[in-house]
Amino acid sequence: MAEEEGKFDGVLLALAQQHEGGVQQLLDTIFDFLARKTDFYTGGTTNAARKLILDRFEKYEKIAKAAQTKKEEERKAAEKRKQEKKAQKAKEELKVDEEPAIKELTDEEAEKLQKELEEERNNKENRENEVKDGSKANEDKVDDEGSDQENEEDKGKLKPNLGNGCDLPNYKWTQTLSEIEVIVILSKSSTVSDTDITLNLIPVFVFSCFFFNLLESDKLDNVTECGY
Same domain flag for 128 and 58 = no
In a domain, 5, yes or no: no
Given this model, what pLDDT does residue 2 score? 56
Determine, yes or no, domain membership for 194: yes
What's the pLDDT score for residue 112? 87
Residues 49 and 87 in one domain: yes
Assess contact for 163 and 175: CB atoms under 8 A.
Answer: yes
* 106 occurs within a structural domain: no
CA 121 to chain centre: 17
State pTM to two decimals.
0.36
Asked whether residue 21 is assigned to any structural domain, the reply reads yes
What is the distance between the alpha carbons of residues 153 and 158, in angstroms, rounded to a whole number?
Answer: 12
- Give pLDDT, residue 61: 94
Residue 101 lies in a domain: no
Domain end marker among 127, 157, 187: 157
For residue 129, the one-letter residue type is N
Looking at the structure, do residues 187 and 137 belong to the same domain, yes or no?
Answer: no
What pLDDT is recorded for position 18? 92
Q: Is residue 107 part of a domain?
A: no
Residue 116's identity, in one-letter code, is E
Residues 40 and 77 in one domain: yes
Same domain, 134 and 187: no
144, 198: one domain: no
Whether 78 and 135 map to the same domain: the answer is: no
CB 175 within 8 A of CB 165: yes
Sheet architecture: strand order including 180-184: 166-167, 171-175, 180-184
* The length of the chain, given as a count of residues: 228
Which pLDDT belongs to residue 162? 84
CA dist 16 and 14 (Å) reads: 6
Residue 83 belongs to domain spanning: 10-95
H-only helix segments in 100-202: 107-153
pLDDT at residue 5 in the model: 77
Q: Are residues 175 and 136 in the same domain?
A: no
What is the rounded radius of gyration, in angstroms, for the C-alpha atoms of the chain? Answer: 61
Q: What does each of the 228 residues of the chain score in pLDDT, given as a tens digit?
A: 556 778 888 998 999 999 999 999 999 999 999 999 999 988 888 788 899 999 999 999 999 999 999 999 999 999 999 999 999 988 888 877 666 556 677 888 888 888 898 999 888 888 888 887 776 666 666 666 655 565 666 666 778 888 888 888 877 888 888 888 888 776 666 665 666 666 665 655 444 444 444 444 444 444 444 443
**Total count of domains within the chain:** 3
Considering the domain architecture, whether residues 152 and 170 belong to the same structural domain is answered as: no
* Distance in angstroms (rounded) separating the CA atoms of residues 13 and 4: 16
Judged by DSSP in three states, 112 sits in: helix
14 domain-assigned:
yes
Based on the fold, state whether residues 183 and 128 are members of the same structural domain. Answer: no
Looking at the fold, whether 209 and 192 belong to one and the same domain comes out as yes
Residue 228 lies in a domain: no
pLDDT value of residue 141: 63
Whether residues 17 and 90 share a domain: the answer is yes
**Segment holding 183, helix H or strand E:** strand 180-184
